[in-house]
Amino acid sequence: MDIRQKSQDELKLLSSQIRNRIIDVVSKNGGHLSSSLGAVELIMGMHLVFDIEQEPFIFDVSHQCYAHKLLTNRWQEFKTLRQYGGISGFSKPKESIYDYFVSGHSSTSISLAVGAAKAFRLNSQEKTPVVMIGDGSMSAGLVYEALNELGDLKLPVVIILNDNEMSIARPIGSVSKYLSRLLAGQTYQRFKKKVEKVLQKYSPNSGVYIAKRLEESLKLITPGLMFEEMGCDYIGPIDGHDIKEIVDTLKIAKDMKKPVIVHAKTTKGKGYKIAEGHHEKWHGVGPFDASTGEFLHIKTIKDTTDVFAENLLELAKSNDKIVGVTAAMPNGTGMDRLITQFPDRFWDVAIAEQHAITSMASMAKLGFKPFVVIYSTFLQRGFDQIVHDVCLMNLPVVFAIDRAGIVGADGETHQGQFDISMLRVLPNMTMFAPIDDISMRYALQFAETLQTPCAIRYPRGAFKKLPYTAEKFVLGRSQLLKTALTDTIFVGYGSGVSKAIDVANSIQKDVAILDLKFVKPLDEKQLLKLQKSHKNWYIFSDSQAIGGVGSAISEMFAKHGLNINLKTFEYDDIYIPHGDKQSLEDELGISVEKISNLFGR
């Protein structure tokens, strides 16, 4: 959709139409609402000033890019947002040539822009990457690594800082805005160059010094000093909902042909009064009634996150050495209630997974018992810190891994499929998984006493009620839930146990069922004993097959020179797309029905 010929009135009407489309679809499908509504005019400004056919549009996290999708030939297809087989909730090049990069994790955008700008310079192309990044993403170190190089190379990149939640630097009214625009404008820039030439000719040393000091004195009363010190020009703050102001500012920024930060103030949930001013509640939502704002699926049972948080809170009340951290997900991980109750012992460090892990390693060194509470997908961002700062030192840090396994509509960037494969290779790491509410309590009690690094994984949603009573965790010990006279055994790990039980019930065959409990260390004694009577082994775990649970068991038997018939129902060597869990498991061939069919029920 080419919007460059539209009038201001037509653009305002279009912004309302885009918001209505977003509200209509997200209220039915769920998705990222408030951030997308707040970014509409900024995205329209990007399309009005930059050439979408030639210049990369780079959205940080990209959860706010719905307006971009609607402006790039996906208006009708947008109704399939986040649905199985439909369009993604994030930018995705396979979906559209106008999506520059796959994105779903924060703070990568400026690095991508630096790489693009380097490529354009090498190819002698006059193109300007444009970035949109939210203020929350500015808490991650990767942003400053990229800004540091960008400011040094002076490559032409325009970065729109979408400030929709907290002020990066407090604005000083109209004087600040006027001076910021003045310093970035063409008139000032031409004047500055002329003055520098004159002073350089007649007084090379003192003249340049005086000119520089004068400009720095003006910038001291603007809110962009930090960016200026890193070598990036700064404009703002501007009204992120005023299309004319946005377009005028972006044109200035693009014409400067160097790194420019455009600081735009926006309102989350703009245009949907119910969501305006709210933050986490309306950030990522499930289906809701658009007319009332009431959510359609009210949680009636405790999910795994609730069970985890309640049990950790009880432990924290009786053990003041327990501390904990989350990285920008206090509500999603259940850590909000611990932060509220013990603000001096539990922290949200924003989008800074690396810092979160290393800071907890230091606390463990000084005698505390830290819990790093994190989604499986975000654990990836702190892998080096786990290797270098936790496991190498053999420090008793607990990694509570939420959203392990398929999480659904957020897709490839958010599926919790790699944590077992990542962590199992690390010396000193202990890995175990609860199967129900009771065993979650046992898992945390065990973790509290363990004096080495450990990881507990649990799925999104609620545990199923199982017809077996879970035993307490004892290091490296599994639990045989059901014996059988046949030579077939189902081995489950974590949420895989309930699936193993469901398949066993579905095929109505006598099979043994083992709750592995620990994938590291394995219960070798029990597994070797069972190998004598069971030759057909089937592994159930919501995790990647390569380096996963089946791999661990195969390696153990191979070490003892034993050969068994083993099949694992873990994930194939692929990135899992978005969609509901049932559809995805059917596609992967690991749903209860698909597995049951293999046994010829």
* In the predicted structure, residue 168 carries a pLDDT above the cut 60: no
Identify whether the C-beta of residue 234 lies closer than 8 Å to the C-beta of residue 222: yes
On the question of pLDDT at 217 being above 80, the answer is: no
Q: What are the phi and psi torsion angles at 400 (to 5°)?
A: -95, 105
The DSSP line for 395-416 is ---EEEEES-B---TTGGGT-B
Q: Measuring CA to CA, how many Å separate 28 from each of 24, 263, 287? A: 7, 33, 5
Are the CB atoms for 539 and 491 separated by under 8 Å? yes
What does the pLDDT read at residue 278? 61
Which conformational region is residue 31 in: left (phi greater than 0), alpha (psi within -120 to 50 degrees), or beta? Answer: left
Element (H, E) at 518: strand 518-520
Is the pLDDT at 371 greater than 60? The verdict is yes
**Nearest CA among 423, 424, 405, 422 for reference residue 414:** 405
Q: 471: which DSSP letter?
A: P
Segment 302-323 shows an average pLDDT of: 98
**E strand residue ranges, 380-487:** 398-402, 430-432, 454-457, 479-482
What's the pLDDT band for 495 if we cut at 50, 70, 90? very high
Cβ-proximal residues to 340 (8 Å cutoff; 6+ apart), any chain: none
Residue 205 has pLDDT above 70, yes or no: no
Q: Given pLDDT bands bounded at 50, 70 and 90, which one contains residue 600?
A: confident
Q: How far apart are CA 351 and CA 63, in angstroms?
A: 15
**List of domains in the chain:** 8-165+231-285 (3.40.50.970), 172-222 (no CATH), 304-457 (3.40.50.970), 479-598 (3.40.50.920)
**Helix/strand/coil for 131:** strand
- Band (pLDDT 50/70/90 cuts) for residue 277 is confident
In this predicted model, what pLDDT tens digit does every residue of 436-445 receive, in sequence order?
999 999 999 9
Q: What is the mean predicted confidence (pLDDT) over 122-130? A: 97
pLDDT for residue 196 is more than 50: yes
For residue 288, report the phi and psi dihedrals to the nearest 5 degrees.
-150, 165
Phi, psi of 271 (to 5 degrees): 95, -10
pLDDT in the model for residue 170: 45
Give the lowest-confidence range in 55-69, 133-147, 237-251, 317-331. 133-147
> Which pLDDT belongs to residue 563?
87
Active site residues: 268, 353, 381
- Is the pLDDT score of 255 beyond 50? yes
pLDDT band for 167, please (50, 70, 90 cuts): very low
Contact between residue 232 and residue 159 where contact means Cβ atoms under 8 Å apart = yes
281: pLDDT confidence band, cut at 50, 70 and 90? Answer: confident
What is the rounded distance in angstroms from the CA atom of residue 284 to the CA atom of residue 87? 17
pLDDT at 82: 95
pLDDT tier, 210 (very low <50, low <70, confident <90, very high otherwise)? low
Confidence class of residue 21 from pLDDT cuts 50, 70 and 90? very high
Which of the four pLDDT bands, split at 50, 70 and 90, describes residue 491? very high
CB 180 within 8 A of CB 224: yes
Among 136-150, 170-184, 572-586, the minimum mean pLDDT is found in 170-184
> How high is the mean pLDDT of the chain?
91
| CA distance linking residue 273 with residue 546, whole number of Å | 48
pLDDT on residue 180: 57
Residue 500 in this model has a pLDDT that exceeds 90? yes
How far is the C-alpha of 316 from the C-alpha of 326, rounded, in Å?
16
Confidence at residue 216, expressed as pLDDT on a 0 to 100 scale: 56
Amino acid 150: pLDDT: 97
Q: How confident is the model at residue 127 (pLDDT cuts 50, 70, 90)?
A: very high
Under the banding of pLDDT at 50, 70 and 90, the label for residue 171 is very low
Q: Would the pLDDT of 181 be above 70?
A: no
The pLDDT of 490-499, averaged and rounded, is 98
How much is the average pLDDT of 167-189? Answer: 53
Average pLDDT for 51-68: 96
- Collapse the DSSP code of 375 into the 3-class scheme (helix H, G, I; strand E, B; otherwise coil) and give the result: strand
What tens digit of pLDDT does each residue of 96-115 get?
999 999 999 999 999 999 99
Does 382 have pLDDT greater than 70?
yes
| CA Rg value for the chain | 27
**Given this model, what pLDDT does residue 279 score?**
60
For the chain, the residue count is 601
| 3 state SS of 434 | coil
pLDDT tens string 520-569: 999 999 999 999 999 999 999 999 999 999 999 999 999 999 989 999 99
What DSSP string describes 47-61? HHHS-TTTS-EEESS
Contacts with 525 (C-beta within 8 Å, 6 or more apart), sequence order: none
